Every structure is written in structure tokens, then in C-alpha cells.
Structure 1
Amino acid sequence: MSQKTGGPDNSFETRLQAARRKQGLDATPKPDLAVQGGLGGSPWSIGMRVGIELVSALVVAVAIGYGLDRLFHTTPILTVVFVPLGGAAGIINLWRVFVPKDSGSGRK
């Protein structure tokens, strides 16, 4: 069993690169929108995302508060407590989307 030792055309790395190019896997990767700040698309899509994130955070908070009120047989005290928490959660989610990420500094 003798293996043919050839030039760089016969190496595994070269064959792998050729196969990746043939399959289209060696193309330059598209920049990740989450790393760049998360904003991509038309103004309509950004507006829909903002609205959905705010409303969904509030709906989840109201559902949790209402469920806990029913579970503990309390007046709507917990619903009143969870509504501002849901609003704050929605605003924090939007803050994470709109504030640009600073990849140059060492902070996380």
C-alpha cells in the first residue's frame, strides 16, 4: 500500500477547500445583525418588532399577575405589581435592540 505523495494539489486541505468552494460553503459570511445592533430590514419590520416586544411583555406580565391573583385568591394586587414590571421588561428589550454594541471595549 503505497500512497502517492504529490504536491499541494493532493493535500487534504486543498481538496477540502475545493469541495467547500464547489458546494458554495466558502463564501464570505454575512454580518450578524445581532452583533451590529439588531436593526435590519424595513422601517415597517422595525416598527412591528418594537410593538410586538412591548405588547408581548405586557401581556405576559398581566397573565402572570392575574394567574397569581387567582391562585392566592387576592384582589388584583399582583396584577397591579406585574404591569409595571412587564412595561420595564419591554423597555429593556427595546433598549437591547437599539443601543449599539461596542465590540472594541473589553466590557460585556
Structure 2
Amino acid sequence: MTNVTPFPFQAPRAEQTAFDRLELQRIMDLYGRMVSAGHWRDYAIDLGREAAVFSAFRRSAERPEYRIEKRPSLRHRQGMWALIGETGNILKRGAELQGILAPVERRLLKIVRD
């Protein structure tokens, strides 16, 4: 009876990749503008060990129109941010979130005629 087991046993927790407050605020701001323009209707956030993913949907039953991925393991190579299209093609990759969101924000611009 010399074995002492601490109770409760807690397994070591795996690190989870997530968006910080400013990143999520910028993404949700874009999402709100796209909803008000009638382009998007739903979103999903997936936080995993390797990546954090924000998916924007035109309709909730379809594939996401865009996915915004944050992969910290690629920080020193191609940049940790990626914009992925509906078919799975990487549309833009970089180190800054602002540059990744630029192609989506351009869809909101409208030409004003005199």
C-alpha cells in the first residue's frame, strides 16, 4: 500500500490553435458586412490542434464559399493565413490577415455612376 495515485488524474492537454480577439473581430466584421450585402448566411468556426478555421456559407447546407485558415506551423514558410475557395483552391496565402481578406472585401465595392 505504498503506491499513492493523485485524484483526479488529468491527462496532459494538447495545445489548441485559436483566433485572438482582434483577429476574430476583423473576421466577424467582414462577415457582418457580407451578410448585410446578401452574400453570406451562415458561418462555422473549427478550432483544432493544427489550425483554426472560419468557414462562411451562402447557405448552411452547402460547402463553404470561403475558408479562412490560421496555421501557426507555416508562420516562417508561406505565412500562417490562407484564404481557401469553395473548391479547395488556395486563393491567397500570407503573413497578415488584412491581406488575406482583401479579395473578399473587394466584392463589397460597388461602382457608383453619376
Task: Please confirm whether the aligned pair reaches a TM-score higher than 0.5, indicating the same fold.
Answer: no
Structure 1 length as normaliser, TM-score? Answer: 0.25
Return the structure number with greater helix share: 1
If you compute each CA radius of gyration, which structure gives the higher value, 1 or 2?
A: 1
Higher relative contact order (CA 8 A, sep 6+): 1
The structure with the largest strand share of the pair is 2
Tell me the TM-score normalized by structure 2: 0.25
